[in-house]
């Protein structure tokens, strides 16, 4: 909701009364986007973006889902994009989770009985996991793209974490350095678009925000055993921001009876803006997974060229003998590893 005579303006100086927005519990205005199909939607999909970016970067993915007769909605998190708040600063990571749940509640009132899914990338993946763990009865499933579960060890060594905690007490606004855009994607054109996007925060990550991300990882670790919802997890093996070990941790720790992991060998962090063959596969996987679960057809069919016991899968993983793409599907006590090339 737009509100008449709103005195508030976006960080880009656009009146919120001219834009779709919501007001969170702290009174902060959040810019919203909606991709609505022409008819009654068969699903509601909330998209949770990553650190430093904004929800407009998910337009292509949202348009695809809209074409499947799904209503997609999103907002720029506090301190991001066209929402209020100091850039990439949040008092507590749970604010992000709380705002997502508020937005979901608002939309769900207009579409009672329509299943709700969460789609989250990077930091948005952590937000989605925590929201699902807090309110599992609200959601039907999760789509996670390179979720923040386990940070790259080089970025968060024991010494660096300790130093950050100390700095947060005395210099919370000190910059830890900018995100290196070259590690986001192997697609140079996408990296260039990222670098030139005025809605992305290109300033350095502050110590206080880094601490909130570390707090989020700890909370996700505690939440994983509580996660029972179906989920699709897409991960690049060469992700230098959210280590792929986190994907395997989530697969092993969660109690979901329907969970699928697909690893893209050599792919970087932003899989939905990667090399065309990767991005096309990501869109296909999301399309298929959501279509199956909104069509009432039960579990999606397992694709693959060979199935191995989970222990053998782990041995191959340790030896580094996996093919270019790995799909791991687990259903309850039966664990099935399916290898195939996209």
Active site residues: 122, 239, 269
How open is the CA angle 289-294-296, to the nearest 5 degrees?
105
Closest CA to 209 of 179, 244, 239: 179
Tell me which DSSP letter residue 279 carries: H
CA dist., res. 143 & res. 66, Å (int) = 16
CA dist., res. 2 & res. 22, Å (int) = 8
Closest CA to 333 of 272, 257, 281: 257
- Residue 117, classed as helix, strand or coil, is strand
CA dist., res. 108 & res. 114, Å (int) = 8
Q: How many CB atoms lie within 10 A of CB 223?
A: 20
DSSP-derived pairing of the beta strands 306-309 and 259-264: unpaired
DSSP string, 236-251: ETT-SSB-THHHHHHH
Cα of 91 vs its chain's centroid, Å = 20
Here the tokens at position 321 are: 């003998």
**What Rg value do the Cα atoms of the chain yield, rounded?**
19
CB of 48 within 8 A of CB of 128? Answer: yes
CB of 149 within 8 A of CB of 247? Answer: yes
HSE, CB side, 13 Å, CA atoms: give it for residue 157. 3
């Amino acid at each position: 909701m737009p509100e008449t005579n709103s005195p508030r303006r976006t960080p880009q100086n656009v009146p919120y009364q001219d834009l779709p927005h919501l007001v969170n519990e702290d009174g902060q205005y959040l810019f919203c986007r909606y991709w609505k199909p022409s008819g009654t939607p068969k699903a509601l999909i909330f998209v949770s973006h990553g650190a430093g970016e904004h929800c407009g970067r998910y337009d292509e993915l949202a348009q695809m889902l809209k074409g499947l007769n799904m209503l997609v909605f999103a907002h720029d998190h506090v301190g991001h994009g066209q929402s209020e708040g100091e850039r990439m600063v949040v008092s507590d990571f749970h604010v992000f989770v709380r705002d997502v749940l508020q937005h979901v509640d608002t939309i769900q009132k207009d579409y009672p009985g329509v299943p709700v899914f969460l789609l989250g990338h990077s930091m948005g993946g952590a937000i989605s996991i925590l929201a699902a763990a807090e309110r599992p009865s609200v959601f039907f499933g999760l789509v996670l793209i390179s979720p923040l579960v386990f940070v790259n060890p080089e970025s968060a060594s024991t010494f660096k974490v300790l130093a950050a905690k100390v700095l947060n007490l005395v210099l919370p606004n000190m910059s830890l350095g900018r995100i290196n855009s070259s590690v986001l994607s192997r697609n140079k054109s996408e990296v260039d678009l990222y670098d030139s996007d005025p809605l992305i925060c290109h300033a350095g990550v502050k110590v206080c925000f880094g601490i909130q991300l570390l707090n989020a990882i700890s909370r996700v670790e505690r939440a994983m055993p509580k996660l029972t919802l179906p989920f699709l997890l897409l991960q690049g093996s060469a992700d230098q921001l959210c280590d792929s070990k986190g994907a395997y941790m989530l697969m092993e720790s969660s109690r979901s009876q329907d969970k699928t992991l697909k690893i893209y060998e050599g792919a970087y962090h932003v899989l939905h803006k990667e090399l065309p063959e990767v991005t096309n596969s990501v869109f296909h996987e999301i399309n298929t997974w959501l279509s199956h679960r909104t069509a009432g057809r039960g579990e999606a069919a397992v694709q693959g060229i060979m199935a191995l016991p989970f222990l053998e899968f782990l041995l191959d993983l340790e030896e580094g003998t996996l093919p270019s793409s790995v799909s791991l599907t687990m259903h309850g006590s039966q664990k099935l590893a399916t290898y195939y090339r996209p």
